[in-house]
A and B are shown apart, each in its own frame.
Chain A
Amino acid sequence: MTVLSRRKQGQLGGLSDRTSSIILVVFSLIILLVVAYPLYYVLVASFSDPYDVYAGKTFFLPSQATLDGYKAVFAEPNIVRGYGNSILYTVVGTFFSVAMIYLVAYPLSVKDLPGKKIVSIFFIITMYFGGGLIPTYLIVQKTGIMQTIWAMFLPGGVAVSNAIITRNYFENSIPGSLKEAASIDGASHFRIFFSMIIPLSLPILSVMVIFSMVAYWNDWFTALIYMTNEQAPLPLVLRNILIKSSASASQASMISGGYAELNKMTEMIKFASIIVAAAPMLIAYPFVQKYFEKGLMAGAVKG
């Protein structure tokens, strides 16, 4: 801090730090406002009467405030189990995904690995070509993992694009000097991987954790196809709640009536379930975010 405050102002031209700071803050606040307002709107809408929402009466405050949407969501007996299943799948799945990403990224980041290009292409092909739902289903059936937790992440394979990003991070953001020093010291690849690369790559590691976490947390389709009702994760439970109260203006439902009422409930639930589903992620995020901010290189080079 002391060094910075004694800097010579404007020696290389450009705006002063002070002005720049103000500009940055102003821009940040604008962005904050622009992004936050619609989020606020969803929050307000989740507490309002949906027909007032559609009439445009809820731009700032809830109208005919009601907790019915949330009540309907939490009245669902499967919610707690859904949360539990989601946490399980997310934790296990993330561990698996990140492990796979690292296992692929490191070898591919090593110069002169024979066959590196072939292996890269081998994985990249799977980004573009795929057999589709039914053949995958048949293989899942054949390998006997139906309705087990394995089905939630094995069929997804390796997240290749993430692996490539990680590979590039290893190549560019971890100084070659460190790697060379290590191999001159006689460290094996295993050693380098586990003791050096992983600890030094915390920023990208935390990013991969976040990406995986969110992907697994939001996935309802995989569970729909491969799992039983008891094994349903949260998004699937929420989806079922939504479907339960959604009456399409279909012919069959018209005869029985009550379309307007049912529709109202659906809309309320729609907004409420966003909050319910996203809240855990939004709460968990700041914890993982800490890892971005550590100046990790400081320790390594000077040591």
Chain B
Amino acid sequence: MKAAVAAPRPVQRKSLGKRMRDNWQLYVLLLVPVVITIIYKYGPMYGIQIAFRNYNPGLGINGSPWVGWKWFERFFRAPNFDRMLWNTIKLSVFGLLWGFPVPILMSLMLNQLRFKRLKRTVQTVIYAPHFISTMVICGMLRIFLSPSGGLINLIAGTQIDFLTEASAFRTIYIASGIWQEAGWGTIIYLATLSSIDPALYEAASIDGASVFQRILHIDIPCLLPMIILQLIMSASGIMNVGFEKAYLLQTDLNKATSDIIAIYVYEQGIVSARYELGTAVGLFNTAINIVLLLIVNRVAKKYGEVNFV
């Protein structure tokens, strides 16, 4: 560290123009991303209008007839709208409740593991499920849950067809989701934890802190900003329950819990390739997501000093 300390600068608010000129290099850095975003992300945005038109690819988007709220009305008047909406929300919220802490706990645990070989092995293994496609996972679930010789029934000694029990659907969906994604989720947390100065651990153990206390006083505060950020991002994606997994696990008997918005949109669009309903529903989902984002962001800013926007 330099011995001489610089003289204190006079406190003075620079003008906006001056600040901008001072930081010109930062604007240069931003140039390319901004241009690409304008061309390829904002350029196509006029396509959102599809939600308000009877889109005919032959006429182009601007040439297709305007129908106002027709598609939104159709969506809201769907016979099972209430059920769809609540199933989607519940699947998301419960998934978050159960699934969110798991990567955090696992990364805290792995971080404290002293046996390097074991740590490396566990890390590589828990990432692997992320690479297995949804189709294969659902195929495996069918086999494991089968009442005629499936592993679960064999162990429990029962003969239940779990895929036909509406009450079991959410558990199956969420549990398999955790298996698939929790390991992958530890990556970002482990990376954050690796920025901790090892001297802190040394100091802590000199003071006689146990592993648990080290976690509590060193690891968690370090992770907290990232945790909050991830929480905000998850909250603002609540409505984005994908269709593929639910569709593959759905049977006629569990529709009470498995009927979700994304499947509805898919089935409506099967007859001919129509994009309007999907776009309209997308806008609806986005509206809810944004509201949630703003709420959670404000709360996080206030209490956690972490912000998204």
Binding site for B on A (CB under 8 A): 3-4, 7-17, 20-21, 24-25, 27-28, 31-32, 34-36, 38-39, 41-42, 53-56, 59, 100, 103-104, 106-107, 110, 112-115, 117, 119-124, 126, 128-136, 138-140, 143, 154-158, 161, 164-165, 168-169, 171-173, 184, 188-190, 193, 203-204, 206-207, 210-211, 214, 218, 267, 270-271, 274, 277-278, 281-282, 285-286, 289, 292-298, 301
Which residues of the other chain, A, contact B23 by a CB distance below 8 angstroms?
107, 110, 113-114, 189
Q: Is the CB of B136 within 8 A of A134?
A: no
Segment touching A, from B72-80, B139-147, B261-269: B139-147
Q: Is the CB of B40 within 8 A of A114?
A: no
B115 interface residue (CB < 8 Å to A): yes
Task: Please judge, given known A-B contacts A132-B47, A274-B131, A292-B190, whether A107 and B113 are in contact too, CB under 8 Å.
Answer: no
Task: Please judge, given known A-B contacts A38-B129, A274-B131, whether A129 and B205 are in contact too, CB under 8 Å.
Answer: no
Task: Please judge, given known A-B contacts A7-B208, A207-B191, A292-B191, whether A189 and B43 are in contact too, CB under 8 Å.
Answer: no
Give Cα A277 to B119, complex, Å. Answer: 25
- 19 more contacts with CB within 8 A, not counting A203-B191, A282-B124, A285-B127, are A16-B210, A31-B106, A35-B125, A56-B143, A56-B146, A59-B151, A107-B26, A117-B309, A119-B30, A126-B41, A130-B47, A130-B48, A157-B37, A188-B25, A189-B26, A204-B191, A278-B132, A293-B194, A296-B194
Q: Is the CB of B37 within 8 A of A126?
A: yes
Contact pattern, B 204-227, Cβ under 8 Å of A = 1, otherwise 0: 011111111100000000100110
Which residues of the other chain, B, contact A139 by a CB distance below 8 angstroms?
39-40, 43-44
Closest CB of chain A to B269's CB: distance in Å? 13
Task: Please judge, given known A-B contacts A3-B205, A4-B202, A278-B128, whether A35 and B183 are in contact too, CB under 8 Å.
Answer: yes
Chain A residue at smallest Cβ distance from B289: A128
Task: Tell me the dominant secondary structure on chain B's binding face.
Answer: helix
Give Cα A11 to B209, complex, Å. Answer: 7
Q: Is the CB of B205 within 8 A of A157?
A: no
Which residues of the other chain, B, contact A11 by a CB distance below 8 angstroms?
207-208
Which residues of the other chain, B, contact A184 by a CB distance below 8 angstroms?
6
Q: Is the CB of A169 within 8 A of B118?
A: no
Task: Please judge, given known A-B contacts A270-B136, A285-B124, whether A131 and B47 are in contact too, CB under 8 Å.
Answer: yes
Partner among A35, A106, A128, A295 whose Cβ is within 8 Å of the Cβ of B26? A106
B133 interface residue (CB < 8 Å to A): yes
Closest CB of chain B to A207's CB: distance in Å? 5
Give Cα A123 to B35, complex, Å. Answer: 11
Partner among A12, A100, A115, A189 whose Cβ is within 8 Å of the Cβ of B25? A189
Chain A residue at smallest Cβ distance from B112: A24
Closest CB of chain A to B138's CB: distance in Å? 11
Give Cα A56 to B196, complex, Å. Answer: 47
Task: Please judge, given known A-B contacts A131-B48, A135-B47, A277-B131, whether A104 and B30 are in contact too, CB under 8 Å.
Answer: yes
Which residues of the other chain, B, contact A25 by a CB distance below 8 angstroms?
113, 115, 118
Closest CB of chain B to A98's CB: distance in Å? 12
B120 interface residue (CB < 8 Å to A): yes
Chain A residue at smallest Cβ distance from B61: A135
B67 interface residue (CB < 8 Å to A): no
Partner among B32, B46, B194 whose Cβ is within 8 Å of the Cβ of A292? B194
Binding site for A on B (CB under 8 A): 6, 16, 19-20, 23, 25-27, 29-30, 32-34, 36-37, 39-48, 50, 57, 61, 106, 109-110, 112-115, 118-133, 135-136, 139-140, 143, 146, 148-151, 179, 183, 187-188, 190-192, 194-199, 202, 205-213, 222, 225-226, 229, 233, 275, 279, 286, 289-290, 306, 308-309
Q: Is the CB of B40 within 8 A of A24?
A: no
Q: Is the CB of B286 within 8 A of A129?
A: yes
Q: Is the CB of A132 within 8 A of B50?
A: yes
Which residues of the other chain, A, contact B150 by a CB distance below 8 angstroms?
56
Closest CB of chain A to B222's CB: distance in Å? 8
Closest CB of chain B to A122's CB: distance in Å? 7
Closest CB of chain A to B78's CB: distance in Å? 21
Q: Is the CB of B30 within 8 A of A10?
A: no
Which residues of the other chain, A, contact B44 by a CB distance below 8 angstroms?
130-132, 135-136, 138-139
Chain A residue at smallest Cβ distance from B37: A157
Q: Is the CB of A35 within 8 A of B36?
A: no
